[in-house]
Amino acid sequence: MVRTRFAPSPTGHLHIGGLRTAIFNYFFAKANIGEFLLRIEDTDRERSRKEYTKAILEGLKWCSIDWDDICYQSKRQDIYEKYLKELFDKGLAYRCYCSKERLEKLKQEQIEKGENPHYDGHCRNLKEEIKDKDFVVRIKLPSEDIDFKDVVHGDMHFSYKEFDDFIIRRSDGSFMYNFTNVIDDIECGITHVIRGDDHLTNTAKQVVLYRLFSKSAPVYAHVPMILGEDKTRLSKRHGAQSVLEYRDMGILPDALVNYLIRLGWSYGDKEIFTKDELIELFNIENLNNSAAVFNPEKLLWVNAEHIKLMSPKKLLEYAKPFMDRRCFDYENNYLIRAVETMQPRAATLKELASGMLFYCVSPKEYEQKGAKKYLKESVKEPLVFLLERLKEADFNSEDELKKAFEETMEKFELKMVKIAQPVRIGLTGRSAAPGIYEMLMILGKDESISRIERVIDAIPFRLS
C-alpha cells in the first residue's frame, strides 16, 4: 500500500509552501488508494508551540486534507531510544563531549584554511564514557558515497566527504530531525516522500541512516520551491501569508488547493480541478522540475472560477462569515437566490458578501460617478412611467417585467441602458450590479417600487 505523510514542525503557522507539500502527498496517496499520515515533528522543545500545532491542524482541516492517522514525535521518545541503542550496539554511534567553545574554535580554524566547517571526529574513538559531562550523540559516517534516485531530479550522488559525523541526539536528550524522520518513516511504513528540494541534503543524510539500520529508503520526489514574482524565494513580502489568512481573505479552500497543486504539477492545459478530479488524475510523474512562481492575481482568478462552480447553497455557507449581520434577518432561500446573482461577479467571498448587501439593506446613498451620468432630469418622466407599469406587473414573471421596460423604451424612444441604469442605481446604489430582472424578482414588488420611488425623488442628482 502507498503510504505518504506530511510532517510539519509546530514552530510557526502553516504557510502555503507547507500546505503544497501536504497536498502533493495527500493526493498521491488517495490517487493510489493509499493512506496519508500526519506527523507533528515537535521534538524542538524550545520552539514548538501548542498554538502552532492547533493552527496547522485547523488549516489542513479547512482545506479538507484529511489524515488517516496522526502521531506526535514528542510522544515517541521510547521508540527513538530503542533505535539509538541499536546503533550503539553495532558501534555505529558515539558520544561526543566537545564543548561549544572547542567546536567554534575548530570552525574558525577550518574557515581560515579555506575548508568547509565540519566535525573532525575528535570523540569518535573514545573508549570510556566521561561521567557528569554533557554530550551529544553522533553517527559514525561510513566512508561510502551516497546515491539515490529522485522522481523529479533523477539520479542523485553525494560524496561522503561532503558530510561529517552529524548529530542525531542533542545534549538535552531530544532527537534531531534527520534521525526521528527516518525512524518514523520506518515505523509507519512510509513508501513515498514528496517534499521541497531544499531537503535534498537532508535526504542524503537520511539515506545513510537507512543503510545503518539495513532498511530500504522510500521513493523520494523533491519539488522545487515556490518563488515570488521577482524569482526570489517566496516570503511574506510576496504575499506568503499563513493558510488561515487566505481563508480570512475570502479564498475558497478548494480554490487554494487547486492553485497550489498547479504550482509544481500539471495535467495538460487544464487549470481548474475539483477534489475528485485531483484524486483521479494526480501522479508524481507529472511533477515539474522547475520552480513555480506564486501569482496572487492568478489565485484570485482560480478562486473566481471555483465560486462560479459551487452550488449557491454551499457557497452561502462559505460566505456567511463575511456577510453583514443584517442579512441574517432574511430566510436562507432568499439569500441563496441573492448569492446566485453574484457568483459570476465575485473573485472572493468578501466581494460576494459585500456585493449582495443591497439585497438586505436599501442603499442610503448613490455612487456619485454613475448617478451623475444616469440620474438626469430627462430620465425622470420615463422612470415615473416605468414605475406605473411595474406596479401592475407580476414580479414572479420575467416576461412581464421585460414588457414594462419595453413599453417604456418604445414610448420614450430610449435604449435599455438609459432606463435600466437609473433603476439599477436605485436598487443597489451602484451602476455595476446583477441583471435588472433577476434583482427585481428577488427584491420583490414592494421593495423594488420603494427604491425606485426614492431614486426618482433624487433626480436630478447633484454632487454633495
Burial class (CB in 10 A: 0-12, 13-18, 19+), 322: middle
DSSP three-state, residue 206: helix
* Separation of alpha carbons 9 and 33, rounded Å: 27
Give just the sign of the alpha carbon dihedral 375, 379, 385, 389: negative
Bridge pairing between strands 93-96 and 136-139? antiparallel
DSSP three-state, residue 123: coil
What residues are paired with 136 via a beta bridge?
96
Phi and psi of 115, rounded to 5°? -95, 155
161 is catalytic: no
* Separation of alpha carbons 266 and 260, rounded Å: 11
Hey, what's the cell of 425?
442605481
Q: Residue 460, preceding bond cis, omega within 30 degrees?
A: yes
Phi and psi of 41, rounded to 5°? -90, 80
Q: Which of these, 239, 290, 243, 282, lies nearest to 264 by C-alpha position? A: 290
Query: Residues with Cβ < 8 Å from 270, sequence gap 6 or more?
Result: none
Burial class (CB in 10 A: 0-12, 13-18, 19+), 130: exposed
* Separation of alpha carbons 265 and 292, rounded Å: 9
Render the burial of 62-76: b for 16+ CB within 10 Å, e for the rest.
bbebebeeebebbeb
Laid out side by side, the sheet with 219-223 consists of 154-158, 146-150, 219-223, 192-196
* Separation of alpha carbons 114 and 383, rounded Å: 86
What's CA 248's distance to the chain center, in Å? 12
Burial class (CB in 10 A: 0-12, 13-18, 19+), 394: exposed
Q: Which of 61, 236, 314, 411 is catalytic?
A: 236
* Residues designated catalytic: 236
